[in-house]
Amino acid sequence: MTICKLFVVSICFGAALFGAASVSRETTQAELVTAFGKSLSESERAAALRPLEDAERTTWQFVRGARPGLMLRDMDAETRLAALKVVASCLSASGREQWRLIQVNEAINGLAEAAAGITPPTFGDDLYSAILFTTPHERAFAFQFEGHHFVLNVAGADGIVTVTPAFTGAYPVAVASGADAGKRPLGAAVAVAFDLVNAFNDAQRKTAKILEGTPAEVLYGVGADSKAPDMRGVLRESMTDAQKQLVDKLLATHAGLLDETIASNQLKEWRTKFAGQLAFAFVGEANLAKPHYYRLTSPCFTIEYDCTNGDPNHVHCVWSDAHANFGGDALRAHLKNNHS
């Protein structure tokens, strides 16, 4: 199957990320970020506004606990709505549903903490912070939205918006109670990954197994923002046509977390410069009840998924791109030219 046909197939899977380039939506993104900045009260500004050069812009974490920025729980109604609009604008419909289910999980865990008398709370659907790195009228911007199991690092410069590194997670892997009981916030992608592994022959499974055992955590997470991609695994070009369709579907499912235009921008270099080169690695068992880890790697980005902790009942997924993280080369050029 040619690369051009690959792009068409991917669109059929519901993530129209690989076709003709779309018109950039930085104007909309910038307007929403500006609206967030304007919504801030004097006390909120002290927590939420920082200059683009601030070191916190390239620092992130996905664990529970205290973090810098303005927390959702501490925002007034106008500011909270403005922050959530920025987040929603970065996500697709499926991405917004994943974010909603992550919040449902966090709220249930928070109620369990409260019942156990644990204070201060470490779980909750309002324990997410926002930081705007810019002034509301700056041409370039960065917006960090961070909390347990959900992190977006948004940046805009030179007409391109990126959202990387991005992180989602879930504990437990399925919502335990309520109207959403049984729903798995990150379940769609792993189902495709299992289909791909089950389509491999023995030699491919051996090549895909890049580690002797499942790692305790994602390897391209915090502190690995400039880590060179590791192309070990089964190369897409070596797969059968049926396997190629599955690996394309897997990538489309992950990229489908993001707004279509943002995802297309982030995949542009991979499409044009590297012609869709991709490797798939898998460690563990293709069984939801057993530890498992997989990775999609290109010369640009790395997408990782692990479910190796909590017997295993704890999922992490990260998208990291050394070329585009925190605005990448475009934002670095803006800082050099305008903030030196």
Torsion angle of the four alpha carbons 132, 134, 135, 138, in this order, in degrees rounded to the nearest 10: -130
Q: Can you list the alpha helix ranges (DSSP code H) found in 256-319?
A: 260-272
Mean pLDDT of 291-305: 95
Instruction: Choose the most confident range, by mean pLDDT, from 16-25, 104-113, 226-235.
Output: 104-113
Checking if the pLDDT of 11 tops 90, the result is: no
> Tens of pLDDT along 204-216?
999 999 999 999 8
pLDDT at residue 295 tops 70: yes
pTM: 0.89
pLDDT digits (tens, 9 = 90+) for 106-119: 999 999 999 999 99
The pLDDT value given to residue 6:
37
For residue 336, how many C-alpha atoms fall within 13 Å in the half-sphere facing its CB?
A: 6
Domain ranges of the chain: 3-333
Query: How many Cβ atoms from other residues are within 10 Å of residue 333's Cβ?
Result: 14
Q: Which 8-state DSSP code applies to residue 336?
A: H
SS3 call for 145: strand
Going by pLDDT thresholds of 50, 70 and 90, the confidence category of residue 309 is confident
What letters, b where the CB count within 10 A reaches 16 and e where it falls short, cover 266-286? bbebbbeeeebbbbbbbbbeb
Q: Which neighbouring-strand residues pair with 157?
A: 160
For position 226, what pLDDT does the model report? 65
CB 169 within 8 A of CB 309: no
| Residue of higher predicted confidence among 240 and 224 | 240
